[in-house]
Amino acid sequence: MGCTPVVELNRLTHGIDGRIVAKLEFLNPGSSKKDRIARQIIEDAEREGLLKPGQAVIELTSGNTGTGLAIVCAARGYHFIAVMSRGNSTERARMMKALGAEVVLVDQCPDSTPGQVSGADLERVRQRTIELTAERGAFRADQFKLEGSWRAHFKNTGPEIIQQVGHIDAFCDFVGSGGTFAGCSKYFKEVDHSIDCYIVEPEGAAVLSGEKPTNPNHRIQGGGYSMPDLSLIDSACIDGFMKVTDEDAMYWARQLAKVEGLFAGFSAGANLAAAMQLLKTTHSGKTIAILLCDSGLKYLSTDLWPE
């Protein structure tokens, strides 16, 4: 897990002054960046005595953290329980089951759009996770609160980017649990405080920037759940907020595949859309780093990839 390559997206930026470098996190064993935090959280829990031999591990997931935890738990001999909304793509549940996980699917709210997980849907998943944690006596691998969620990226992802690229001027990241942004931005600021770090949110669900959600049923899976209290993120590391529409995220994810040959998901498209905004405005001529968070294979049943 980790040590994924970085590539420059010089075909997509042809004719634009500046560079976008992308870290290919879909090349992790579970096809997403969340493998990193899964390993860190389990290692931390073992070291601190919070996870006992034979104890079950449980966490809510949109699919990626659950896949990473399924891999780590399989390798270390723990039973893993993934709790996920039925609004997430079916590929993810099947992959976790294949890796030996027990998958508990939670129905969406009556007013939710199928395939588009809202904050209310996530709250249902959270409540079911709390219930099952108590019932099973499980260790909760809480990606929203445990420090392993950001330390994995502070210790590894951020340093890898600097080692591979040399110098970057900005970093933008679509926020789910907040761990990637928290860890990378903290590391980048320690290396060079002038590196600008931007949080990327869905248009209509940009609550971290202080807006009231008007589009809780956005299509960008894995984030934008209208959760304004992500405790992992240090506000001192935030240089700005950027909003991306569903259409722009989908367009740039498709362009990544067609033009660069990189098959990634919704959040990768959102990150690229934000980076393109920066290059065309405030960061012309600069080098911007992004993550391609997960594989496009996890969205084949969605409208990201039309038949």
Q: Catalytic residue positions?
A: 34, 267
How many whole angstroms separate alpha carbon 44 and alpha carbon 14? 44
Strands 6-8, 19-24: pairing kind: antiparallel
Pick from 88, 92, 90: which is nearest to 101 by CA?
92
Residues facing residue 24 across a β-bridge: 292
**What whole-number distance in Å separates Cα of residue 22 and Cα of residue 39?**
22
Q: How far is CA 257 from CA 7, 139, 180, 254, 261, in A?
A: 14, 38, 23, 5, 5
Cα separation, 306 vs 258, in Å, equals: 14
Q: How far is CA 207 from CA 44, 184, 199, 220, 241, in A?
A: 30, 21, 11, 15, 10
